[in-house]
Structure 1
Amino acid sequence: MDLAIATTLTETTFDDAVARIREALAGQGFGVLTEIDVTATLKKKIDADIENYLILGACNPQLAHRALGVDRQIGLLLPCNVVVRDSTEQPGAVIVEAMNPDIMVQVADAPGLPDVAADAATRLRAAIDSL
């Protein structure tokens, strides 16, 4: 099982990739609840320099409600993290990747959860593919 649903964008900027994934997520019913600028945080806290690296905490309320209805502890795995980062291997490229919802199924083996994870995976894949 892959850890992420991902794509690499080669004809865009980091900021454009962030704007595009936000729009694509919204088109699939996801809102961004949290945003962690890992680059700025590491620079401020430990004076470490890394490439542009942003974590978006994406949530589709209907899917979250369904998942919580199956297992209240599933909140430990929510929201769905989406990472936008400059490639360290391919200069000028931006990687956009979302956590594979099937990981929830592997961690919490609850009846009904595979259906929610499959729906989330379909929506996240559609958002990533639209980029």
Structure 2
Amino acid sequence: YEFDATVKKVEEAMLSEGFGVQLITGIHDMFKKKLGIDDYPKYTMVLGCKPQLAKRALETSLDMGLIFPCSFTIYEEDGKVKVAHVSIMKIGAEIGLADKEAMAPLIEDTGKQVRRVWDKI
């Protein structure tokens, strides 16, 4: 897919799996507007949240909110469009925002739901 179509595909996949999309922001556009950089490669973030998962994370530790929301990045590199995602639930547990053992079931559930998003991209 070309860049804009990929961004749309990520957004649609997230929405179809119950993730609310809070923001789609083009970092390259911000760099152009604020820094005067016209040729920065396209880089867009799709930020979303699945309320049920967020609630469970916050019930484990309110500090988990520091790394919300769930995000996918879409960027151009070496002439290709790439999509990336990292598990904020895993990161939160790994860096000590929440207890690893308490987060384990949520990490598993979140992983399953995000895999369904990946399957649609």
Q: C-alpha distance in 1, partners of 2:66/2:21?
A: 17
Partner amino acid, structure 2, of 1:78: F
- Number of aligned residue pairs: 117
Residues 1:120 and 2:110 are matched in the alignment: yes
Match in the other structure for 2:7? 18
Match in the other structure for 1:39? 28
Pick the structure with more helix per residue. Answer: 2
Residues 1:103 and 2:61 are matched in the alignment: no
Deviation at 1:103, TM superposition (A): 1.2
Q: Secondary structure at the match of 1:50?
A: coil
Q: C-alpha distance in 1, partners of 2:106/2:24?
A: 24
Deviation at 1:114, TM superposition (A): 2.1
Consecutive unaligned residues in structure 1, runs of 5 or more: 1-11
Q: RMSD of aligned C-alpha atoms? A: 1.5
Identity of aligned residues (%): 27
Q: Secondary structure at the match of 1:112?
A: helix
Residues 1:68 and 2:58 are matched in the alignment: yes
- Is the 8 Å Cα contact of residues 64 and 98 (structure 2) preserved in structure 1? no
**Mean Cα deviation higher: 112-121 or 72-81:** 112-121
- Is the 8 Å Cα contact of residues 10 and 46 (structure 2) preserved in structure 1? no
Match in the other structure for 1:52? 42
Consecutive unaligned residues in structure 2, runs of 5 or more: none
Q: C-alpha distance in 2, partners of 1:50/1:125?
A: 30
**1:6-34 C-alpha deviation (Å, 9 max, x unpaired):** xxxxxx11111111111111122111112
Q: C-alpha distance in 2, partners of 1:80/1:114?
A: 17
Q: C-alpha distance in 1, partners of 2:62/2:43?
A: 30
Q: C-alpha distance in 2, partners of 1:16/1:41?
A: 20
Match in the other structure for 1:6? none
The two structures have a TM-score, normalised by structure 1, of 0.81
